[in-house]
Amino acid sequence: MEALEMAAVGAAGVAAGGINAVVGSGTLITFPTLLAFGFPPVLANVSNNLGLVPGTVSAAYGYRREMKGQLGRLVRFGTASLIGGLIGALLLLTLPDDAFQAVVPVLILAACVLVVLQPWLNRRLKERENPGRRDGGAPMWCGVLAAGVYGGYFGAAQGVLLMGLFGAFILDDLQRLNAVKNVLASIVNGVAAIVFIAVADVDWTAAGLIAAGSTVGGLVGARYGRRLPPVALRGFIVVVGVTASVIMIVS
């Protein structure tokens, strides 16, 4: 890549890291950037995934205060994300590139609806709260598994899907749930990255540039995103999710 292209990829990494920290969908910035510079789709997807791993880790670190008291939740859902990310990465290497194209926008829009309805859903859940099922039970675990499969396969708006699930099934503060989302995203991206390193071609220059940019973006996004009030964070999630769906439908 030429110097200007390298600068553009690095800048896209910064933006993607910041967006991933607050919502998710940073892939919709870095992936098209790589495609615009002539990268084949699978190579772009693999290199992008590797590059975004440090950004998701730095975002999780930025939300470390909100993780207090959530170790059990992180272990439970982290297992689902680990399995899902592994399955998704293997699917990427075996299925046609457009296999999920039709269903993904629908999933993202459904997640946005769940985010919008979260206050009402939480009130209903509180009315019939079962102390043994505060984290949504088996349906929520399966939902996180499915989000992990999608994240390992492609990853755009993985955070929107997770936040939609959390808002529908879990009674907790939105920023605390966002902290969990960042950890789960780092697990999914991390396990997928290990698979890709082992068996797929990687453009290490692109991956390195995105990694450097996303690390900075993740820290900055976490610093400011964790200050957003619930209404503002919810609105930002919906805007990014709807935008992601539209982009994927028309592309």
CA-based Rg of the chain, rounded to a whole angstrom?
A: 17
Most confident stretch, 96-105, 148-157, 218-227: 218-227
Question: Who wins on pLDDT, 28 or 73?
Answer: 73
Q: Do residues 193 and 248 lie in contact, with contact meaning Cβ atoms separated by under 8 Å?
A: no
**Which 3 state secondary structure label does DSSP give 132?**
helix
Whole-number Å distance between alpha carbons of 161 and 188:
13
Residue 132 pLDDT: 46
Q: Is the pLDDT of residue 117 over 80?
A: no
Considering 27-36, 125-134, 135-144, 225-234, the range whose residues carry the highest mean pLDDT is 135-144
What pLDDT does residue 131 have? 47
CA–centroid distance for 24 within its chain: 4
Say how far residue 28 (Cα) sits from the centre of its chain.
11
% of the chain exceeding 70 in pLDDT: 86
Name the nearest CA neighbour of 73 among 141, 145, 154, 153: 141
pLDDT at 179 over 90: yes
The total of other beta-carbon atoms located within 10 Å of residue 239's CB is: 12
Under the banding of pLDDT at 50, 70 and 90, the label for residue 182 is: very high
**Greater confidence, 73 or 235?**
73
> Which 8-state DSSP code applies to residue 93?
T
What separation in angstroms does the CA of 170 have from each of 23, 70, 105, 147, 155? 17, 12, 24, 16, 22
For 158-174, b/e burial (b = at least 16 CB within 10 A) is bbbbbbbbbbbbbebeb
Mean pLDDT of 210-216: 96
Distance (Å) of CA 64 to CA 58, 68, 140, 172, 181:
10, 7, 23, 16, 12
Amino acid code (one letter) for 244: A
Burial-class residue 229 by CB neighbours within 10 Å (0-12, 13-18, 19+). Answer: exposed
Residue 185 pLDDT > 80? yes
From 53-57, 123-127, 225-229, the region with the lowest mean pLDDT:
123-127
Contact between residue 58 and residue 215 where contact means Cβ atoms under 8 Å apart = yes
pLDDT of residue 224: 87
Phi-psi region of 68 (alpha: psi -120 to 50; beta: other; left: phi over 0): beta
Q: What is the pLDDT of residue 212?
A: 96
User: What is the Cα–Cα distance from 229 to 243, expressed in whole angstroms?
Assistant: 21
Dump pLDDT digits (tens) for 78-92: 999 999 999 999 988
- Counting residues of the chain whose pLDDT is more than 90, the rounded percentage is 41
DSSP 8-state code for residue 65: G
Q: Is the pLDDT of residue 250 over 90?
A: no
Residue ranges in the chain assigned as alpha helix (H) = 3-22, 27-36, 41-62, 71-92, 103-116, 118-127, 137-153, 158-169, 174-199, 204-225, 230-250
pLDDT in tens, 8-55: 999 999 999 998 888 777 887 888 888 888 888 888 889 999 999 999
pLDDT band at 121 (very low <50, low <70, confident <90, very high): low
Work out the pLDDT band at 102, boundaries 50, 70, 90: low
Q: Residue 150's pLDDT is what? A: 87
